[in-house]
């Protein structure tokens, strides 16, 4: 039986400036790979899966008009007026979704260009089947130095940002992709109680995972089967590699 997506929403985080890539006249998600904006591949995959405009919300900020001019009325938009972190962006996006949405896929607009329909559908299906509050997509990487790590031990599941890692945790190669599914109403309720991440001074998503664990909510990790599907683009070298892969 086909997966029922009618109560699933998608929030795509697209407000970032792309400081490390020296973006000046366009947001990071509008940088091109294979002749198209990075985020266009994300939206195209979601539409192929069956999501419609009302279910897809782009959280926009820096040079937002570039994104709106490109997609026009293909998707919905909400503006993150202040750049207060990914947790805040997710909250702003989730709150803007229609009231019938009760589960939300949250993903970055700059690193999901290579996700397949199968991967995203599998993630959604397992979240719904296992009746989780939080589902996290993780990936093994060869060089995890610049990423947060997934910690799954007797104390529960946590995501630790790279700034907070111990020497032992730095050896872990399973990283957070920044793609999640949340129970919509739980996240909306929990965000006002979420603390800022001290070293970053902003609202991240990771504290939500910690709070879910403290509340004994059901959390699961789904590991990406094909590690080449997740492509973080934070440097010119990574942008050029992604461009080559999409140009084939």
The structure tokens listed for 191 are 């965000």
Bridge partners, 175 (sequence order): 139, 149
For every one of its 248 residues, what pLDDT tens digit does the chain have, with 9 covering 90 and above?
A: 678 899 999 999 998 876 676 667 788 999 999 999 999 999 999 999 999 999 999 999 888 999 999 999 999 999 998 888 898 999 999 999 999 999 999 999 998 999 999 999 999 999 999 999 999 999 988 887 777 788 887 777 888 877 788 888 888 888 889 999 999 999 999 999 887 766 666 788 888 988 999 999 999 999 999 988 988 788 888 888 888 887 77
Question: Phi-psi category of 85—alpha, beta or left, where left has phi over 0 and alpha has psi -120 to 50?
Answer: left
The structure tokens listed for 24 are 């000046």
- In 10 A of CB 208, how many CB atoms? 26
Q: What is the pTM of this model?
A: 0.93
| Beta-carbon-side half-sphere exposure of residue 82 (alpha carbons within 13 Å) | 5
Domain segments of the chain as ranges? 8-134+178-196+228-247
Please tell me the predicted confidence (pLDDT) of residue 200.
65
- In 10 A of CB 246, how many CB atoms? 17
Q: Beta strand pairing status for 103-108 and 174-183?
A: antiparallel
Fold of 8-134+178-196+228-247: Spore Coat Polysaccharide Biosynthesis Protein SpsA; Chain A (3.90.550)
Please tell me the predicted confidence (pLDDT) of residue 1.
62
User: Which DSSP symbol is given to 246?
Assistant: H
**What DSSP assignment string belongs to 148-164?**
-EEEEETTEEEEE-GGG
Please tell me the predicted confidence (pLDDT) of residue 198.
63
CB 180 within 8 A of CB 136: yes
Question: What does the alpha-carbon distance between residue 239 and residue 134 come to, in Å, rounded to a whole number?
Answer: 30
Please tell me the predicted confidence (pLDDT) of residue 88.
92
């Amino acid at each position: 039986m086909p997966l029922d997506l009618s109560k699933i929403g998608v929030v795509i985080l697209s407000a970032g400036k792309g400081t490390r890539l020296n973006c000046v006249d366009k947001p990071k998600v509008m940088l091109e790979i294979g002749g198209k904006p990075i985020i266009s591949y994300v939206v195209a995959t979601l539409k192929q899966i069956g999501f419609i405009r009302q279910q897809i919300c782009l959280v926009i900020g820096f040079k937002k008009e570039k994104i709106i001019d490109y997609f026009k009325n293909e998707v919905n938009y909400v503006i993150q007026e202040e750049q207060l972190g990914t947790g805040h962006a997710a909250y702003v996006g989730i709150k803007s979704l229609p009231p019938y949405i009760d589960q939300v896929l949250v993903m970055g607009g700059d690193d999901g260009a290579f996700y397949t329909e199968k991967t995203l559908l599998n993630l959604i299906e397992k979240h719904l089947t296992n009746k989780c509050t939080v589902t996290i997509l993780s990936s093994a990487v060869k060089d995890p130095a610049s990423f947060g790590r997934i910690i799954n031990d007797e104390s529960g599941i946590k995501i630790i940002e790279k700034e907070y890692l111990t020497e032992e945790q730095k050896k872990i190669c399973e990283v957070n992709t920044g793609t999640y599914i949340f129970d919509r109403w739980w996240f909306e309720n929990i965000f006002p109680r979420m603390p800022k991440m001290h070293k970053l001074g902003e609202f991240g998503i990771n504290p939500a995972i910690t709070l879910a664990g403290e509340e004994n909510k059901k959390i699961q990790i789904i590991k990406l089967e094909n590690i080449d599907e997740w492509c973080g683009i934070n440097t010119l070298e990574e942008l050029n590699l992604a461009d080559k892969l999409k140009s084939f």
